[in-house]
Structure 1
Amino acid sequence: MRRFLLFISIVVLPMLAIGQQVLRPVGTFSNDTIRIGAPVTFSLVHRHPEKLEVILPGSNYNFSPFELVRKDYYPTYTRNGISVDSAVYTLRTFDTRAVQALALPVFVLQGTDTIRVNGDSSRVILQQLVTKVNEPLQFKSETTLVPVEERFNWPVLLLWVVVGTLFLSLIWLIFGQTIKTKYKLYRLRKDHLYFTSRYNAHVDRFVKTGVSQSMEKAVSLWKNYLTKLERSAINSFTTKEIVEFYENNEEVNTALRLCDKAIYGNMLTEADADTKEALLLLRRFAKSRYKARREITKNAKNNRRHAGLAEPGMVQS
């Protein structure tokens, strides 16, 4: 008997006291009617003594037959010892019942216990969009194809560009030096063949006619070719400077002086053996410089320490 009275005094009486102090929460829908899947708001307001700690339903609460879309809480407002807690819940339903109701409680914290205070039920009417259903249902088929505008697949293009760039970068990283060397050799050979063809034409014309202008053009072409080959302004050098550039090469010295004598000294009446030999010496020297440059280009990867060509005075026949 004493245990029963103790239970009444410790558990039941505080709950009755709290029940007398705590008012029931008030919940209302924003609309009287709703549609399936359409959002509707439910406002919950609870007034209670300032000293009580009250919790409103959270996102884990079961709002059946509704689903919670969003919840918005507002700060507690206290005046004359009465606090007001409020929240607005955005709900939706997919239940087909004509009338649907919802009653949300509040939870009062009392020491280690939690007391649930239920609110009054609020109802809404489900608006029926389909008033009559014909049985059996009639299915309408539509088999006409609708033209769809073709769209360019930019993501695929971007992917191919990225993959192609990476592939070409990899190829260049591995074979770039070889490709550059091959291209330089191709340019050297092409320039030399072009020079040889034009130079031989001037020499043949000089041999046939003995006109000094043909020799002058041949020497000018030779200087321009070596300027490009040696990457030096040889075409602006005097004969003496050219000979010094090639470290007093005897064949270059002899050939250029004979040509200068014939061109500027008006000492030439016809193509003699010396002038023809001078032109052949210049052609042979140009060929030797081409071979030297070609070898340097081939071995550039393994002989980077060599900045220039072979000794300019060394002429290969």
Structure 2
Amino acid sequence: MRKLLLVIVSVVLPMLVSGQQVLRPVGTFSNDTIRIGAPLKFTLVHRHPENLEVILPGTNYNFSPFELVRKDFHPTATKNGISTDSAVYTLRTFDTRPLQALTLPVFVLQGKDTIRANSDSSRVVLHQMVDKVIEPLQFRTETELVPVEERFNWPILLLWISFVTLISSLIWLIFGQTIKTKYKLYRLRKYHLYFTSRYNAHIDRFVKTGVSQSMEKAVSLWKNYLTKLERSAINSFTTKEIVEFYNDNEEVNTALRHCDKAIYGNLITEADAETKEALLMLRRFAKSRYKANREIIKNARNNRQHAGLAEPELV
């Protein structure tokens, strides 16, 4: 019995004495009323001797019937040996009880012991949005269709544009060079067919009429065709310069000089075999240059460095 009294005196009594030194914290709501789900602030203030270590409730504390939204601390302020700790808790409630109360504690650390001091209960009144419920509930019906404005689906459009752009980029990355080569060959062939058709028409007209103007138009067309084909101003060259451009090609030399003699010398009154042959030689040469350029385009990857003029093989 004496040992039990000794324990009470040595353990319980010091706790009671120290507990008397801990002041109760003060907790208040910012408003007297609250609505379901609306935020409400609760301020907790505790004053204590500056030598005490005090802990205020953290985010893990049960604030029932409220829920914690956020917590804001204020730095400890000390004046004349008295420290003030405070925190503001933003709460909300989904409880439908008309009167709701909250009490928060503070925890004072003294050695190995922890003393809990609760604040006074602070109450708020729940603002009722529905004062009276009529039973049974009356439902309003609306059977008329309401026109809804049609909206363009921009996200789907952007998705398709991105998809098409991605696919097109991949196709171009893989087959881009092939596509460019095919397109160049298509344009080259189309232009050659156009030239051949018009050139043959001039030859036929010259053969039938023997008029030197038809020959002049044929030669001019030939020069313009080679100008575009070779990407050089051949249509502004003299006969001598054209022959030199094509490395003194004998047939080009013979055909152009015969045509110049016939056109500018007015030495023909009708189409003869020699003049017609000169025009045919120019056509064969144009065709050979077409084939040479076609081969250069086909083998552009391997022989770009050899893309200069080579002696054409007449067909």
Classify the TM-score, shorter chain.
over 0.9
Shift in CA distance, 10/275, structure 1 to aligned 2, threshold 3 Å: farther
Q: Comparing 105-114 with 11-20, which one deviates more in the overlay? A: 11-20
Structure 2 equivalent of residue 223 of structure 1: 223
Structure 2 equivalent of residue 83 of structure 1: 83
What is the 5 A alignment of 1:56-71?
56-71=56-71
Structure 1 equivalent of residue 18 of structure 2: 18
Q: 2:106 aligned with 1:112, yes or no?
A: no
Structure 1 equivalent of residue 306 of structure 2: 306
Distance between the aligned counterparts of 1:9 and 1:145, measured in 2? 83
Structure 2 equivalent of residue 316 of structure 1: 314
Distance between the aligned counterparts of 1:146 and 1:287, measured in 2? 73
Query: Kindly, what percent of the aligned residue pairs are identical?
Result: 82
Distance between the aligned counterparts of 1:142 and 1:19, measured in 2? 67
Q: 2:172 aligned with 1:172, yes or no?
A: yes
Q: Deviations over 1:135-179 (max 9, x none)?
A: 222222333333222222222111111111111122222222222
Distance between the aligned counterparts of 2:280 and 2:10, measured in 1? 129
Deviation at 1:190, TM superposition (A): 0.8
SS in 1 for 2:20: helix
Report the AA paired with residue 283 of structure 1: R
Distance between the aligned counterparts of 1:18 and 1:144, measured in 2? 75
RMSD: 2.0
Distance between the aligned counterparts of 1:121 and 1:296, measured in 2? 96
Shift in CA distance, 13/126, structure 1 to aligned 2, threshold 3 Å: same
* Residues 73 and 86 in structure 2, CA contact (< 8 A), matched pair in contact too: yes
Distance between the aligned counterparts of 1:54 and 1:220, measured in 2? 106
Structure 1 equivalent of residue 281 of structure 2: 281
Distance between the aligned counterparts of 1:202 and 1:316, measured in 2? 21
| TM-score of the superposed pair, with normalisation by structure 2 | 0.92
Deviation at 1:303, TM superposition (A): 4.2
Distance between the aligned counterparts of 1:245 and 1:64, measured in 2? 99
Shift in CA distance, 5/307, structure 1 to aligned 2, threshold 3 Å: farther
Deviation at 1:131, TM superposition (A): 2.3
Structure 2 equivalent of residue 210 of structure 1: 210
Report the AA paired with residue 314 of structure 2: Q
Structure 1 equivalent of residue 121 of structure 2: 121
* Residues 42 and 89 in structure 2, CA contact (< 8 A), matched pair in contact too: yes
Unaligned runs of 5+ residues in structure 1 are: none
Distance between the aligned counterparts of 2:141 and 2:60, measured in 1? 44
> How many residues are treated as equivalent by the alignment?
315
Unaligned runs of 5+ residues in structure 2 are: none
Distance between the aligned counterparts of 1:127 and 1:163, measured in 2? 54
Report the AA paired with residue 135 of structure 1: E
Deviation at 1:196, TM superposition (A): 0.9
What is the 5 A alignment of 1:230-269?
230-269=230-269
Q: 2:116 aligned with 1:130, yes or no?
A: no
* Residues 296 and 307 in structure 2, CA contact (< 8 A), matched pair in contact too: no
What is the 5 A alignment of 1:28-107?
28-107=28-107
| TM-score of the superposed pair, with normalisation by structure 1 | 0.92
Distance between the aligned counterparts of 2:192 and 2:10, measured in 1? 114
What is the 5 A alignment of 1:192-211?
192-211=192-211
Q: Comparing 289-298 with 211-220, which one deviates more in the overlay? A: 289-298
Deviation at 1:5, TM superposition (A): 5.3
Shift in CA distance, 129/174, structure 1 to aligned 2, threshold 3 Å: closer
Q: Comparing 104-113 with 31-40, which one deviates more in the overlay? A: 31-40
